[in-house]
Structure 1
Amino acid sequence: MSNTESNITSQPDNSEKTPFMKTNMPLAVGAAILALSSGLLGYSIGHRQGLTVVGYDADAEQLVDVVQKQKTELATLNKNLNAAIQERDVAVSNSNDLYLAVNKARDEQEHSGNLGILYREVLRQRGGMPLAVQHLAIKPLPENAFEYQLDLVQVSPSKSSVSGSVEIRLIKGTEALAVPLEDKNFNFSESERLTGRWTMPKGFSPDFIEVRLSGSKPVIRRFSWSKGQPVENQSAFLSEIPQTEASVN
């Protein structure tokens, strides 16, 4: 009887343990899945956060480089702007000075022109002034070339024009060379300027230069020859400058 009771007593203990495990198995599996999911989620968030921090550092460094580059370019632009402003101020100042100088020269030219008109009128009233050589200038150039500038003037009481021709001679002792003139004819009422160039023969050094004007009344003027410093920059080809020729008279 006692053995039977012990067997009967032990059977209820096994029947109670088996349903408990079966009943709580889904809960245990869910807890395990939840723990695994939490671990994966934490790793994913941490990994993304790490990538975000690394990307932010790279973007920040690139932004710093861009800002520094822009600062350098801005400093260069400011420097160029200041230089341009200074150049503009200098140009404006020079322009103003040039404007004043031009106006002053124009006023002086107008004043001289008015005085010239007045003097010519006085000369006309006093009988006028015959054809004359007002000025002769000789400019030495490189390679034994020379440039002449001849100013002629006359004042006619009747305000008529005068015409004729010009001859320029280089004289050394009894030898005379004719200077080739680009335009030897003249025709003017008050004044005229004749210019040209020629090449002096090698070894020839004149003592005098003579100007002869042919017209209603011949005019001859002789000037002492003097040589100045040659001009370094000439505005014509020296090979095209005509040579002097011996004068027949």
Structure 2
Amino acid sequence: MQNSDSHTAPQHNASDKKPFMQTNLPLAVGAAVLILSSGLLGYTVGHRQGLTVVGYDADAEQLVEVVQKQKSELAVLNKSLNTAIQERDVAVSNSNDLYLEMNKARDAQAQAENIGVLYREVLRQRGGIALAVQHVAIKPLPDNAFEYQLDLMQVSPGKSNASGSAEIRLIQGTEVLTVPMEDKNFNFENNERLTGRWTMPKGFTPNFIEIRLNSAGKQVVRRFSWSKGPAVENQSSFLSEIPQTEANSN
């Protein structure tokens, strides 16, 4: 009886365990599926988060480059603006200085003219000054060309004008050349300047330059020694337009 009981007990325990595994199998499968799903979800979220962070870093780097570029362009613009402001200030300063210098020059010129008027009045009261050659200047130019500047003056007691013609002669020994003047006529009360240019013939070097003034049947003659100075490099007209000298018939 005891033996039969002992064999019966283990069979009862086995039958108890089998229904437990069968009963909890769906729960175990569900737990496994839940664990797997959780892992997959975590990987997916982490992967997307990683891609988002990488994209953000790239956008941030590009934004930094744009900002740096704008800063560089702004620095260049500021430098250009500062340079323009400095140039404007210098130009304004130079303009003001030039304006002051012009006013000073005008004041000096007006003062000189007033003194000249005063001197002429004194000279008129003392009998005046007859027509005369006040100054002669000859400037050598390239290609054997020359420029003349002839200043004439007079102080008439009756304030009458001096009118007539001028003649410039170049003298080398017994040979005489007449300079072709652009405007040889004059008509002035106090002073007048005659200017022009001519081309010297090759091989001709004058010893004297002679100025002749013909006015109201009277003639004024002044002779100066010829001396050649340094050539003027910047001429204001074409040398081909400068007239040639001609031999004097007298």
**TM-score normalised per structure 2:** 0.83
Q: Distance in 1 between matches of 2:125 and 2:29?
A: 139
Q: Deviations over 1:32-52 (max 9, x none)?
A: 554444334322221221111
- For residues 1-249 of structure 1, the aligned pairs below 5 Å read 31=31, 34-216=34-216, 217-249=218-250
- 1:162 CA displacement: 1.7
Cα distance in 2 between the residues matched to 1:19 and 1:117: 145
Shift of the alpha carbon at 1:182? 0.5
Cα offset for 1:218? 1.3
Q: Secondary structure at the match of 2:158?
A: coil
Once residues 100 and 241 of structure 1 are traced to their aligned partners in structure 2, the CA distance between those partners, rounded to angstroms, is 39
Distance in 1 separating the partners of 2:243 and 2:84: 50
Alpha-carbon distance between aligned partners in 1 of 2:70 and 2:210, rounded to the nearest angstrom: 75
Structure 1's unaligned 5+ residue stretches are: 1-12
CA distance in 2: counterparts of 1:189 and 1:33, whole angstroms: 126
2:171 aligned partner, one-letter code: I
Gap regions ≥5 residues in structure 2: 1-12
Provide the C-alpha distance between the structure 2 equivalents of 1:60 and 1:221, rounded to a whole number of angstroms. 93
Deviation at 1:82? 4.5
The CA deviation at 1:222 is 0.7
- SS of the equivalent of 1:134 reads strand
Deviates more, 1:150-159 or 1:198-207: 150-159
SS in 2 for 1:58: helix
Given the two structures, how large is their TM-score scaled by the length of structure 1?
A: 0.83
Q: Provide, for residues 100-127 of structure 1, a one-character-per-residue CA deviation record: whole Å limited to 9, x for no partner.
A: 3222222211111100010111112222
**Whole-Å Cα distance in 1 between the matches of residues 30 and 40 of structure 2?**
15
Q: Using the alignment, how far apart are the partners of 1:73 and 1:120 within structure 2?
A: 69
Report the alpha carbon displacement of residue 160 of structure 1 after superposing the two structures with TM. Answer: 1.8
RMSD of Structure 2 on Structure 1 (CA): 3.2
- More deviation, 53-62/218-227: 53-62
Q: Which residue of 2 aligns with 1:10?
A: none
CA-CA distance at 1:86 after TM superposition:
4.3
Structure 2 distance, partners of 1:161, 1:105, is 29
Deviation at 1:207, TM superposition (A): 0.5
Percent identity, aligned pairs only?
Answer: 78
The amino acid of 2:189's aligned partner reads: S
- Cross-structure match for 2:10: none
How far apart, in 2, do the equivalents of 1:51 and 1:210 lie?
A: 103
